[in-house]
Chains A and B, each alone.
Chain A
């Protein structure tokens, strides 16, 4: 099976702009989670989507949002970008059923805000 794919891999934006990142999960996986990775804060959970519904949300401001499509592909959006949003954004997919699912990460999108 192909792994989790994320596009684009690298992105440079200016403060105040908005950005959309895309994630395609492993075939058959219905759960998609997003994480932010920074040197200072480490890996932090943003949100999880399952069957097009947000099932869980981390402690991030409303500028961070996401959605999931019927084919399980997911996008996250960050509006009004701040310098502190520079990070590696990781997507993870899981074949969630009734139990805790193993999560598999994509390579990430490196976002730089200038």
Chain B
């Protein structure tokens, strides 16, 4: 049973544009929502994370928006660059360090 639904599966954005990836969850016990970036042949790298007591968190060009009532959260990548081309995973945790991952979004930034 997929507990975290991620969309879109793939995304093509022009250089300088905004990339938006969305995730929805069902389990209200989740209280920690990280995003990971993965390049081919590498392990996932923690990008940014949010907890449900805030609605937005920004780190550089990356912003998480969180809507607790809708049980949704999203990643915005501003001024997208070709080097941002990677697979992005949202995740959620509510049981220790057990992360439940979304299916992933393959982002391609065209130069």
Contacts and interface: CB of A to CB of B under 8 A. Distances in A.
A63 interface: no
B43 A108 contact: yes
A103 B45 CA distance: 9
Contact of A105 (B45, B95, B103): B45
Nearest to A102: B46
A108 B43 CA distance: 6
A56 B98 contact: yes
B93 to A, nearest CB: 6
A42 interface: yes
Which size bracket describes the interface of B in this complex? 20 to 34
Nearest to A33: B97
Contacts, number: 64
B98 A48 contact: yes
A107 B99 contact: no
B32 interface: yes
Nearest to A99: B32
Given A42-B101, A43-B101, A48 B42 contact: no
B46 to A, nearest CB: 6
A45 B89 CA distance: 14
B50 to A, nearest CB: 11
A58 interface: yes
Contact of A42 (B32, B95, B104): B104
Contact of A33 (B32, B43, B49, B98): B98
Nearest to B45: A105
Interface string B80-111: 00000000010101011111111110000000
5 contacts: A42-B101, A96-B96, A100-B51, A105-B45, A107-B43
Interface of A: 4, 31, 33, 35, 42-45, 48, 55-56, 58, 90, 92, 94, 96, 100-108
Given A92-B97, A96-B97, A105-B44, 17 more contacts: A33-B97, A33-B98, A35-B99, A42-B101, A42-B102, A43-B89, A43-B101, A44-B101, A45-B98, A48-B97, A55-B97, A56-B95, A92-B43, A100-B31, A102-B49, A107-B41, A108-B42
